[in-house]
C-alpha cells in the first residue's frame, strides 16, 4: 500500500524546505492516486525532471528524464510538464528550486 499522493507530496516539500531549498506544489491532481512529476531547477536556466516508474521487481523508482534526449533546458522541461498536464488532469507537479540540484526523493533514481 502506498501513501496518498497529497501526503507524499507534502512530505517531499518538507524535506526540501528543511534543507534550505524552495519547494512548491505547482499543480495539484488527484489527492489519492495522481501521478507526480518532480522538477528541480538550479536557477541558472537548467533543470531536471523526475517521473515515477517501477523496477524489474515492482519497486518504485524515479527516472531522471533530463538525463536522456530531453536534456536539462528548463524551458524544454517546462514544455514537457505542460504537455503531460494537458493530457492528465490527475497529474501533480512538484517544483523544487535548489542551486545544488538536489531532488530530495527517498526512492532510488535511475537515468
Contact yes or no for 44/73 (Cβ under 8 A): no
Locate the domains of the chain by residue range.
5-110
Q: What is the CATH number of domain 5-110?
A: 3.40.1530.20
Query: Is the Cα torsion angle 66, 109, 90, 98 positive or negative in sign?
Result: negative
Inter-residue contact 35 to 90 (CB < 8 Å)? yes
Q: Is-contact 94 6, C-beta < 8 A? A: no
pLDDT in tens, the chain (111 residues): 678 999 999 999 999 999 999 999 999 999 998 999 999 999 999 999 999 999 999 999 999 999 888 889 999 999 999 999 999 999 999 999 999 999 999 999 998
Amino acid at each position: 500500500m502506498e501513501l496518498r499522493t497529497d501526503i507524499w507530496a507534502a512530505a517531499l516539500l518538507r524535506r526540501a524546505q528543511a534543507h534550505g531549498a524552495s519547494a512548491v506544489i505547482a499543480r495539484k491532481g488527484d489527492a489519492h492516486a495522481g501521478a507526480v512529476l518532480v522538477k528541480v531547477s538550479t536557477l541558472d536556466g537548467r533543470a531536471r525532471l523526475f517521473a515515477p516508474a517501477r523496477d524489474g521487481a515492482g519497486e518504485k523508482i524515479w527516472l531522471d528524464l533530463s538525463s536522456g534526449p530531453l536534456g536539462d533546458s528548463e524551458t524544454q522541461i517546462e514544455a514537457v510538464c505542460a504537455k503531460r498536464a494537458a493530457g492528465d488532469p490527475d497529474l501533480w507537479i512538484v517544483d523544487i528550486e535548489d542551486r545544488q540540484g538536489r531532488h530530495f526523493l527517498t526512492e532510488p533514481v535511475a537515468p
